[in-house]
Structure 1
Amino acid sequence: MTVHTIETKAAFDEAVKNHSVVIVDAFATWCGPCKAIAPIVAKLSDEEQFKDVYFAKIDVDDLPELSQELGITAMPTFVAFKGGELSGKVVGANPGAIQKLVVDQL
C-alpha cells in the first residue's frame, strides 16, 4: 500500500465513498511534527493487517475548506472514516494513538 495524496475535495469524497476504511493525515509542509510522523504512517500503510485501509493525506494549506469541514485545528491531525462516516480522530504526532485509531477501524 501507500499513502495517497488527496488534492481536491472531490478526490476526498471519492476516497471516502469507495473505501470502507479511510485514514486521513491532515498535514502542513511547514509542520515539523508532520514531517516526523510521515514515515511512521507510511510504514503502517505497508503492514499486511492494514491492507484494506486506504491511507491518505491532505495539505491543510491547499484544502482549507476541507480542513475546516473536518475540524482540523492543529497539525498533524489524523481522521478516520468507516463506512463513509467519521469514526475517530487523533490530534498530534502520537504513533501509539495513530496505530490504535487504525486498529479500531478494523
Structure 2
Amino acid sequence: MNRGQFATFAIMTSLIAAISAPPAMAANRHLFSGDAFSAAQKQNARILVDISATWCPTCRAQNPIVNALMDEAGNENVVIFDVDFDTQKDVVRYFNARAQSTLIAFRGPNETGRSVGDTDPESIASLVQSTQ
C-alpha cells in the first residue's frame, strides 16, 4: 500500500467510524428505569421522557434539538429519560405513547405537556419550558 492509498484508507476508516458512532448523549440523559423516574418525580424534578426508535428519522431530528436545549441556561437541571420504542413496550404503554418521536414533559409527578413527531425547535423549547 503506497502513501496515497494509506491516506485514503485512513480517511475512509475515520469517516465510517464517525458515521457509525452512536449519537452523543447529553450529561443529563439517562436510559429509562422506573426507579430513577420515580425518584426524579419525588424530587419534583423537571423531566423530559424521550420515546424514540433507532430507525426513526424524526427521532434523529429531535435528538440534537433536545440536546441543544439542555445546553441553554436554566435547562441544565432537566432530567431526560430515554425510552426505546421497540424494546421497552411496557414503558411505552405506561406512558400511553402511540408512536415513536414522543416527548413527554413532567414537573415532578405532573405531566405538563407532550408532543408527537415535532421537530420545530421553538415548540420543543416551549414543551421543555412547561416543566418550570
- TM-score between the two structures when normalised by the length of structure 1: 0.85
Q: CA RMSD in A?
A: 1.8
Match of 1:102 in 2: 128
Letter in 2 for 1:104: S
Q: Which has the higher strand share?
A: 1
2:73 is the alignment partner of 1:51: no
Report 1 or 2 for greater relative contact order, CA contacts < 8 Å, sequence distance ≥ 6: 1
Task: Classify the secondary structure of the residue corresponding to 1:57.
Answer: strand
Runs of 4+ in 1 over 6 A off after TM superposition: none
Aligned residues: 106
Structure number with greater Rg is 2
What percent identity do the matched residue pairs reach? 31
Letter in 1 for 2:106: F
Gap runs ≥5 in structure 2: 1-25
- TM-score between the two structures when normalised by the length of structure 2: 0.70
Distance in 1, matches of 2:55 and 2:110, equals 29
Structure 1 residues 15, 59: CA separation in 2 closer, same or farther (over 3 Å shift)? Answer: farther
Which residue, 80, 85, 94 being the options, matches 2:110?
A: 85
